[in-house]
Amino acid sequence: MRRLSWRNLIHDKVRFGVTLTGVVFAVILVAIQIGLLVGFSRATSDIIHHSGADLWIRSKDVPYIEVGVVFSERKLYQARAVPGVQWAEKFILQFIDWKRPDGSNEGGMVLGFNPDRPLGGPWNLTAGQIEDLKADDTIIIDELYQEKLGVTRLGQVVEINNRRAKVVGFTRGIRTFTTSPAIFTSFKNALNYANFREDQTQYILVKVAPGYDVEQVRRELGLRIKDVDISTAAEFGQMTRDYWLFSTGAGVTVIVAAILGLIVGVVVVAQTIYASTVDHLKEYGTLKAMGADNSYIYRVIIEQAVISAVIGYVLGISVSLLVVQASQNGVTAIFMPWQVGLGLFVLTLMMCIGASIVSIKKVTQIDPAMVFKG
C-alpha cells in the first residue's frame, strides 16, 4: 500500500511539489510566529526569572515590572526580620536618557541591585565582573545594544541623565520587550541616575532560606509589611508577560498570524490533495472493481497525506531552524524549544490528515462500473 501511495504522489511531480510547498510554507510561518511569541514572552520576564529571588515585594497594584512605585526602605528591614528570609535586597528599575557620543539621545532602563548579593544582577557576562559595579558610576550593558548606545569598548565613559557612567562589562542575550536596553549598575549608582532619595526603593527581592516553605514565608511577610503586594517570581513574571503580550495586543497579533498561517496551509494542502484524488478517481474505481473496500482506499489517501506531512515538516523545520539561528544576533530573537518543534510536527500531521479527509468524501461516491464505461 505504501508503494501505491508514493507512486500516486510522484506520478505528478509538479502537483506533489505544490503540495509540499504548501506544507513547508505553513510550517515555516507557524514556526516563526510561535518562535517570535516565545521570544517576546522571554524578553518581557527574563529580568524577573533571572533575578534569583523567590519573592518580589512591591507597592500595591503594580501590574508589571516596568512601572514600579517607590516606597520607604524601612520595609526592607521588616522583611529581613522575618524567619525564613535568607536575603532581602533593594532593587529598582527606572527608564533613563542615554546620550550617545554623537550627541543624540537613546532610551535605556537602569537596573539597580546590590553587587554583594546574587539577586537582580546580570547574567551571561562576556566581559567584566559583577564586583566591578561596586565602583562609583559603573555600568554593564548587553553586547546586542552596543551599536544602539554608541558603545565601542570597555572603559568607555558615557552620560546617563547628565551623569557620568563608565562601561565595565558586557552581557550577551539580555533582551527587553520595550526596546530600551537593560543597564545594570549598583543600587547606589541607580539611585543617582534615577534621582531617587537614598531611603527609597521600588522592589525588595527576597531569597527564602533552605528548608523554609516559600508560601509560609510569604504569609509571614504579608502579616508584617503593610501596603505592599508580595508575589513569587513565577507569578510576577506571568503578570508582566500577560500585560505586554495581551494588554498591548502584541501577543494577540502574533497568535493571529500563526493561526492564519495554519489556515493557509490547510487550504493549500486540502486543495492539492483533493485535486490529486480526483485525478486518480479511475485508479481508485479500478481498485474497487477488483474488490478493494473503501477503508483500503481511505488508508491510501491518508498515507499520502502523512508522507506529504513528514517531508514538508522536515523541509519546513530545517528552514525555520536556520532563521532561528540567524535571529540570535539581533535584538528580536526567535526561539524554538523542542516542545514547540514536537508540537508543530503533530500539528502538521493533523493538518495534512484533516485536509485529506475532504477528498475521501469524493472517493465514497465512486461507482466501480465507471471503469468499464471508458
pLDDT digits (tens, 9 = 90+) for 231-258: 999 999 999 998 888 887 777 777 787 7
The confidence band for 12, taking pLDDT boundaries of 50, 70 and 90, is confident
What pLDDT score was predicted for residue 223?
94
Residue 140 has pLDDT above 90, yes or no: yes
Residue 374 has pLDDT above 60, yes or no: no
Residue 371 has pLDDT above 60, yes or no: no
User: Grid coordinates in use for 334?
Assistant: 526567535
Residue bearing cell 527581592: 205
Q: Which of 119, 116, 113 is nearest to 140 (CA)?
A: 113
CA 80 centroid distance within chain:
35
Q: State mean pLDDT over 63-83.
A: 93
Residue 344 has pLDDT above 70, yes or no: yes
- Higher-confidence residue of 300 and 167: namely 167
User: Grid coordinates in use for 267?
Assistant: 487550504
What pLDDT score was predicted for residue 372?
58
Q: State mean pLDDT over 165-179.
A: 90
Element (H, E) at 352: helix 338-364
Q: State mean pLDDT over 29-41.
A: 84
Element (H, E) at 217: helix 214-224
What is the percentage of the chain residues whose pLDDT exceeds 90?
49
First to last CA, the chain: 26
What pLDDT score was predicted for residue 48?
95
